Every structure is written in structure tokens, then in C-alpha cells.
């Protein structure tokens, strides 16, 4: 039996064949649990050499109880359920898998934005209710003149800009960490925050969730958007004050909103967004395709192997 042991704290995959294959080839054992609480993670993973985590909470208490752990790898991009500071204090790298579903999330964001810009949900509902009308109920700018904007200019935002480039409209982005030259090389104009909101026709969010980005889209910034503008969020739920968003949509002050992530998930049954007009709401599925799941599983397992072999890590987030 291998002296190295990796614990999958929890998962929602059909199977773990990809992890088993990667780890077995490296001579590493795999143990699988379905932990829902911190205490369950401690009980299952106290002596594990590495953790592969999907949704289970890896709190400071969990990290303090780990006796052998050399790395924690999160299935996915966000690491909100892992205490990064506690792990860093213990010298345990935390890694994510940021490149498994880039095309899927970008495509989902673009699909939401285009559907709302072309008013497909409201036109579909109108037709089903018995109204046949060959013009939309609200102003509809041509896609060739529509300004596509992203908050953030990382992998997914760049892919979304590439997809939108074919429509020929202006493209802008706000990201204080990316130089204007890098954006210009992709045909994108770098703008400041106020201009981002003032000029956007479709504004797609691609930011991490931090204390600074919580409610990045709030009532004041919603008020600075064009009344025809569309907001899209496939990144992190807390980037948007969803109560303020629902109020703006209900008041007719916004062209539409397409959301795949929410401040609380599942989206509460009584949340006003469910009744807000001009919305497309999806259930955190932007990451998914038939190929993204196995890619995610394989890349996560490969990062674990790199760590246990003492090789450089690709995606450590708590340096």
C-alpha cells in the first residue's frame, strides 16, 4: 500500500476514474469521502497527504488538525470554501484549476449577453402569450454598434472578447492589473471604472470575489448604466447586489440581467430576482460541458502529483 494518501473530501462527479489513473501512475493512493462539515473533513483527512476539495469547508480548524497535508487542491476556480490565510500560515499551498472551463464559461457569458441584447426571453414570452409583433418592445441597438465590456481581463474575459469580436462592435475592459497594451493587442480598449459602467451595452463580470469586489455592482453603479444595458455574471455571486439588481429591473431602469451565480445558492425561492423582468437565470452551470468535467478532474489530480513529487505548482493561490 502506498505511503502517500490523497483524500477527495467530496465530489459530484459520475466517477473518479481520471483521478485514480493519474494518482495510480504516480504510486499514490486515493481515499474518497463525501464530507459536508468541517468535523467530517477532519475525521476523514487528518492524516491525508493531500486534499482534493469540491464544496466541503476547509476551515482554519480543519487546517490546524491536518498532520501530513502537503497541498490542498480545489476542483474549480473559486477557493471561497478554503481558509487561504490559515493554510499559508501552516505552509500548505492551496491551488485551484483556473483553466479547465475557460471556453465554457466565456461561451455561457456571451450567450446570456446576446440573448438579452436581442431580447429573446421577453419576445419568446410575448409570443407564447399570444402577441405576434415584428418589432421589440424596447430599444434594441444593432450588435455591430453594441459595446461589449468586461470587468476583469483574465483568461475567461479574453475568451469572451474573442468570441464577441466577430460582431464588430466596440470592446472595452476594466482591469487595473493589466496594461493597456495587452488589451489593445486583443482589440480591446482599457477604460477606468466610471467609463466601464457609462459606456457598456453588455457588461460581463470576470472578477475574483474579495472584500474589495463584494457588491462591485451596487445600486449606485446600476444607476450609472444605460437603461438599455445588460449585466452578465458568470463569475462569483457576491459581485452583484442582487436585491438592488432586482429593483432596477423591476423599475425598468435596466435592459436585462443574465446570472449563473448568486449571493446565496441555490437562489432562494422568494428572491425578487425570480420575478424580475428581462432576466435569464441559470443554475451555476456555465462551467459545464461533456469535456470540462474530465479535464477538471485530471488537471486537479496532476497538480496534486506535482506537489507530492516536489515539483513546481502551476496554480497556487496563497503564495
CA distance 82 to 51: 11
Give CA torsion, residues 18, 108, 258, 226, to 10 deg.
Answer: 140
Task: Output the DSSP codes for 194-205.
Answer: HHHHHH-SEEEE
C-alpha cell at 273: 430576482
User: Can 265 be counted among the known catalytic residues?
Assistant: yes
Residues in the chain: 319
Residue with cell 467530496: 10
CA distance 311 to 303: 9
User: Can 263 be counted among the known catalytic residues?
Assistant: no
> Nearest to residue 13, comparing CAs of 27, 41, 32?
32
- 256 contacts: CB under 8 Å, gap ≥ 6: 116, 117, 119, 121, 230, 231, 249, 278, 279, 280
Exactly one of 118, 155, 271, 284 is catalytic; name it: 284
CA distance 12 to 25: 23
β-sheet bridge partners, residue 171: 148
Exactly one of 265, 274, 309, 311 is catalytic; name it: 265
168 membership: H or E segment, kind and range: none
Task: State residue 301 phi and psi, 5-degree precision.
Answer: -65, -40
C-alpha cell at 93: 499551498
CA distance 183 to 194: 18
* Helices 17-25 and 292-308: angle between axes, nearest 10 degrees: 30
What sections of 186-291 are H helices per DSSP?
193-199, 219-223, 242-250
Exactly one of 108, 158, 236, 306 is catalytic; name it: 236
8 membership: H or E segment, kind and range: strand 5-8
User: Can 284 be counted among the known catalytic residues?
Assistant: yes
Active site residues: 236, 265, 284
Amino acid at each position: 500500500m502506498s505511503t502517500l494518501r490523497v483524500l477527495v473530501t467530496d465530489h459530484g462527479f459520475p466517477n473518479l476514474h481520471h483521478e485514480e489513473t493519474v494518482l495510480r501512475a504516480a504510486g499514490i493512493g486515493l481515499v474518497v469521502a463525501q464530507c459536508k462539515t468541517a468535523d467530517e473533513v477532519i475525521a476523514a483527512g487528518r492524516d491525508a497527504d493531500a486534499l482534493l476539495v469540491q464544496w466541503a469547508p476547509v476551515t482554519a480548524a480543519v487546517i490546524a488538525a491536518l498532520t501530513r497535508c502537503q497541498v490542498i487542491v480545489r476542483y474549480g476556480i473559486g477557493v471561497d470554501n478554503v481558509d487561504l490565510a490559515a493554510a499559508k500560515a501552516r505552509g500548505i499551498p492551496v491551488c485551484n484549476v483556473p483553466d479547465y472551463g475557460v471556453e465554457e464559461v466565456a461561451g455561457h457569458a456571451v450567450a446570456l449577453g446576446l440573448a438579452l441584447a436581442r431580447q429573446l426571453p421577453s419576445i419568446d414570452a410575448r409570443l407564447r402569450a399570444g402577441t405576434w409583433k415584428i418589432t421589440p418592445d424596447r430599444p434594441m441597438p444593432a450588435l455591430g454598434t453594441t459595446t461589449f465590456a468586461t470587468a476583469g481581463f483574465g483568461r475567461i474575459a479574453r475568451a469572451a472578447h474573442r468570441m464577441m469580436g466577430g460582431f464588430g462592435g466596440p470592446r472595452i475592459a476594466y482591469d487595473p492589473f493589466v496594461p493597456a497594451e495587452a488589451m489593445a493587442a486583443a482589440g480591446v480598449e482599457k477604460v477606468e471604472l466610471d467609463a466601464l459602467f457609462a459606456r457598456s451595452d453588455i457588461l460581463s463580470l470576470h472578477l475574483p470575489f474579495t472584500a474589495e469586489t463584494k457588491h462591485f455592482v451596487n445600486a449606485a453603479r446600476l444607476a450609472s448604466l444605460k437603461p438599455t444595458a445588460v449585466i452578465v455574471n458568470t463569475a462569483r455571486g457576491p459581485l452583484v447586489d442582487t436585491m438592488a439588481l432586482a429593483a432596477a429591473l423591476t423599475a425598468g431602469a435596466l435592459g436585462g440581467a443574465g446570472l449563473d451565480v448568486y449571493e446565496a445558492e441555490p437562489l432562494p425561492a422568494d428572491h425578487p430576482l425570480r420575478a424580475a423582468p428581462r432576466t435569464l437565470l441559470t443554475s451555476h452551470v456555465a462551467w459545464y460541458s461533456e469535456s470540462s468535467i474530465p479535464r477538471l478532474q485530471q488537471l486537479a489530480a496532476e497538480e496534486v502529483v506535482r506537489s507530492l513529487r516536489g515539483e513546481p505548482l502551476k496554480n497556487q493561490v496563497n503564495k
